[in-house]
Structure 1
Amino acid sequence: MSKPPFGFGPPDPDKRGDGDPSEQPSGAEAFNQLGQMLSQLGQMLSQAGSSSGPVNYDLAKQIALQNLSGSDDGKIGFASGTGDSSTAVRDAAHLAELWLDAATILPAGANTTVAWSARTWVEKTLPTWQRLCDPVAQQVSGAWMQALPEEAKQAAGPLLSMMGQMGGMAFGSQLGNALAQLAQEVLTSTEVGLPLGPANTSALLPANIEKFTEGLEVPSSEVLVFLAAREAAHQRLFAHVPWLRQRLLATVEEFARGITVDTSALESLAGQIDPSNPASIEEAMSSGLLEPKTTPEQESALKRLETLLALVEGWVDVVVAEAIGDRLPGADALRETLRRRRATGGPAEQTFATLVGLELRPRRMRAASSLWKLVGDRHGIDKRDGLWSHPDLMPTAEDLDEPLDFADRLGDTPVIGEDFDPIAELEKTEKREAAESGSASASSSDSGSDSGSGSESGSEAKPDSGSDQDKGDNPTS
């Protein structure tokens, strides 16, 4: 956790009044700043009753959209430099889907492909951000409110409710500013590795893609098709692997709920808070005094999350590379650029770390790519993609260390289709295990029925990876 979650960060020196006296505002400037502060405070107070949760999301959305009011609306043409970007995005996605059909057994997962502006990205992804940020805000605000001495609670009385509202507005303000920054950098709806947008919808941000292309020696049309293929591959996983979307989001939530605060810092914090001054509350919350402590449970959740993200990104990396092949001359360079962008992170990923309190880096993406490539080359794409049919079949962190061993012991795996039923597949696995257990005890007096059951399953080889892969780094529901 290189960045503390929102509410924990150090104060922005540019927003403070201390420092070099020569840099202090003049009387007129101070009057203007005071007017702006009062205007912002009035806006915040007008929003106070619109949200009862730990984060004022109405305020967050309003601030984000205001910050983006001067941004490009996404109507940037590709290839020829003219035309509607929505048409270019749809054409690129259609071509990418055709190429992907030959590289994976997973069918297309998106019913709609759209071009989003930064403002649209904020509006469409805010419901998912609410799910991710609520546990963080609840832990942070609850920790310092509940740990106040009883005398302070009694003295504060009704002000505690006001402080809770002000805390929600402080979080909302910080979230809004962070989302505005992130919205100007992300290239697709799945770039951070999570399904942030609506289900079955592929979304690309043409204005951001155009800016991203400026530093590359690759035609913008190739960049667009390449990114459309990555977005479409992500959507195939999220649409046809029933457990994946929930597992990713639930693991982030689990990490957030594990946040603990050293309440010994509250004594120092209490002296900085004036309940009648909202600015003092926001300043205290961002002072760093309440920096959270990482728990063993969080470390475990983080390890599971990093492994699962690496497996997702590694699979997408391999499948897209195989789908594109030699069709795009700049594909290899783009592949390496995006690998580094995901592995090292940038301002956008740092913003996410501030929001949720962790880095969504698939640190072992290259190892995961090597594993998926090895499995596909040795066993074919049906078996490779069939591993996604159940979380217990997935490679673990230890398997990323020894991909050859994993490929060697890989047995029969189910294949995902449109009629895939994970419960039915789990029942099949249990029946095979029971049948094999019966065959092993054939010498007992009642071995007849067990042996019969075993013979019925004789043609189905039980995956050797079953019990071994229940250990290690598999995510848990």
Structure 2
Amino acid sequence: MKIFRDLNGGRDLPPQLVEQLKAMGIADADPAQVAAMTSQIQSMFAPGAQRKGVDVASATATAQEHAESEDHEMGSRETVLAEQAVHVASMWLDQVTDLEAPALTGAALSRAEWIEETMPVWASLVDPVADGLSAAIRESMTARLGDADAPDLQAMGLPAGMDLSMLKQQLSPFVDTMASTLITGQTAEAVGTLSSDTLTATEVGVPLLTSRVALLPGNVAAFADGLDVSLDEVWLHLAAREAARMRLFTAVPWIGPQILAAVQSYARGIAIDTDAIDAAVRDIDPSDPEALQEALTGGFLNPSPTAAQRQALVQLETWLALVEGWVDHVAARATAQHLPHTSAMTEMIRRRRATGGPAEKTFAGLVGLELRPRRLRDAASLFAALEERVGASGRDGVWAHPDVAPSGADLDDILGFVERTATGGGSSESADLDAALESILREADEGGKGEGGSATGGSDPDAPPTA
């Protein structure tokens, strides 16, 4: 009981609380386990310890520990190879697209470096889930305090008749930190796993970096192993795709924020499975400081998306498909005259992106969605058809503004979108808006004629007088 007396400021515990601790089996628990639990609780309440969302520094360190066990040793050869591959690929891209990003340079990243540079963006995508989890745990814990079998609050030293809403407020920092610890651990696992699979910095289609075209040499070498393609050619293919993607994110400043906003909107709408939370809180072993995290890992997301989530998911999948479709088409155009295996490499990477892998599934368990461009082939066909009809400049012109960019409906009607673009009609959504606006103006114009006898709403000065 010494540890609990320490938590109580050195004073003896109330007899009722001692009995409750004995009934729970805590009084005779392993001192080492109880000490660990005590240390964790004290650290959660320590000044400056309370936090919300993903702890970026902790998640980065944990993910890097996972990556370092199998990380590729970086050398000057990899650095030079990345710089040269990106330089050559950029010159090829200059011949097939007007979109420019002259400040971009090539870089080789180890898995640990990729984790460190991209973790802040991953954290921003996961933070909405942490907020929802904190609220759910807080509600579950305070609800259980009102149950018939709840512990005696007075025996625990709390004032008689204490308002549970006040206790809930006192618990908030503790719960926020608990949820942060849980989400931080899962984010670290997801990003650490993804670091062993991603070939380039932004292969998942999310703008994780903003200033460099980066490749991960260790992962590239593993990907190329067994292919009937030279390693240098694999580097150039991947450099062309990553350079095209980064060029799009840089030259079209609205597309990156749109993708991030769609992921965050989906995550913000995630419903927490309160039954899983209740079960975890009810059955948690108080002597195990990691019990709650283990109980909730992967088991607190409600699998049924809301209407708002479905809308966000459709928009996200459309943006991802459009980005990857443009990258797919433009990179293939850039390398076709220079590399002998362009068609085979393009098809291989299409399948890789369409099916995803264990790493993407890990992240899907965290935010409830997979970052896969499900309609990549449709989008690539759309941009190919656009280029054939209106040229490369017209093809890239659809990125000028979100209102003229293709929509999900346009991927269903590629030829219609191409024709509307060629004749100045734009996407189906903007065409519908134009038609609605034209109808409103026509009705107003006809109403003016009906009221005033002319289009200007006035009388005809040359008309003969009426009786």
TM-score band by shorter chain is 0.7 to 0.9
Matched with 1:178 is 190
Residue 43 of structure 1, CA deviation:
9.2
Matches of residues 339-358 of structure 1 in structure 2 within 5 Å? 339-358=350-369
**Partner SS for 1:114:** strand
Matched with 1:235 is 246
Bigger drift between 302-311 and 352-361 goes to: 352-361
Residue 282 of structure 1, CA deviation:
0.9
Q: Is the 8 A contact 2:270 2:301 kept in 1?
A: no
Matched with 1:86 is 79
Which of 119, 122, 144 is equivalent to 1:126? 119
Matched with 1:61 is 60
Q: Is the 8 A contact 1:44 1:59 kept in 2?
A: no
Which of 181, 187, 191 is equivalent to 2:203? 191
Deviation digits for residues 23-74 of structure 1, max 9, x if unmatched? xxxxxxxxxxx99999999799869855611333322112112222333344
Q: State the structure with bigger RCO (CA 8 A, min sep 6), 1 or 2.
A: 1
State whether structure 2 residue 403 is matched by structure 1 residue 392: yes
Q: In the aligned structure 2, how far is the partner of 1:341 from the partner of 1:40?
A: 44
Residue 266 of structure 1, CA deviation:
4.3
Which of 101, 124, 140 is equivalent to 1:108? 101
Q: Is the 8 A contact 2:49 2:177 kept in 1?
A: no
Cα 1:160/1:284, change in 2 over 3 Å? farther
Letter in 1 for 2:296: M
Count of aligned pairs between the two proteins: 394
Deviation digits for residues 299-326 of structure 1, max 9, x if unmatched? 1110111011101100111101111113
Letter in 2 for 1:171: I
State whether structure 2 residue 215 is matched by structure 1 residue 204: yes
Residue 410 of structure 1, CA deviation:
1.6
Q: In the aligned structure 2, how far is the partner of 1:200 from the partner of 1:256?
A: 26
Cα 1:216/1:203, change in 2 over 3 Å? same
Matched with 1:463 is none
**Partner SS for 1:113:** strand
Cα 1:315/1:290, change in 2 over 3 Å? closer
Matched with 2:6 is none
Q: Is the 8 A contact 2:123 2:187 kept in 1?
A: no
Cα 1:319/1:39, change in 2 over 3 Å? farther
Bigger drift between 133-142 and 106-115 goes to: 106-115
Unaligned runs of 5+ in 1: 1-33, 77-82, 415-425, 448-477
Matched with 2:7 is none
Cα 1:183/1:324, change in 2 over 3 Å? same
Letter in 2 for 1:71: E
Letter in 2 for 1:184: S
Residue 396 of structure 1, CA deviation:
1.6
Which of 327, 330, 350 is equivalent to 1:319? 330
**Partner SS for 2:339:** coil
Bigger drift between 220-229 and 53-62 goes to: 53-62
Deviation digits for residues 155-214 of structure 1, max 9, x if unmatched? 5955664343233222212222222211111111110010112x1321111111011110
Letter in 2 for 1:112: T
Q: Is the 8 A contact 1:136 1:356 kept in 2?
A: yes
Deviation digits for residues 255-282 of structure 1, max 9, x if unmatched? 0011112434444333212455322211
Q: In the aligned structure 2, how far is the partner of 1:55 from the partner of 1:275?
A: 24
Letter in 2 for 1:223: V
Q: Is the 8 A contact 1:110 1:232 kept in 2?
A: no
Letter in 2 for 1:102: Q
**Partner SS for 1:380:** helix
Radius of gyration: which is bigger? 2
Matched with 2:177 is 165
Deviation digits for residues 220-262 of structure 1, max 9, x if unmatched? 1001111111111111111111211110000100000111124
Q: Is the 8 A contact 2:87 2:105 kept in 1?
A: no
Letter in 2 for 1:319: V
Letter in 2 for 1:207: G
Matched with 2:311 is 300
Q: In the aligned structure 2, how far is the partner of 1:277 from the partner of 1:39?
A: 8
Q: Is the 8 A contact 2:280 2:292 kept in 1?
A: no
Q: Is the 8 A contact 1:85 1:115 kept in 2?
A: yes
Bigger drift between 310-319 and 101-110 goes to: 101-110
TM-score (norm 2): 0.75
Deviation digits for residues 313-371 of structure 1, max 9, x if unmatched? 00111101111113111221111111000000012211221232201111110011111
TM-score (norm 1): 0.74
How much identity, in percent, do the aligned residues show? 41
Q: Is the 8 A contact 2:140 2:281 kept in 1?
A: no
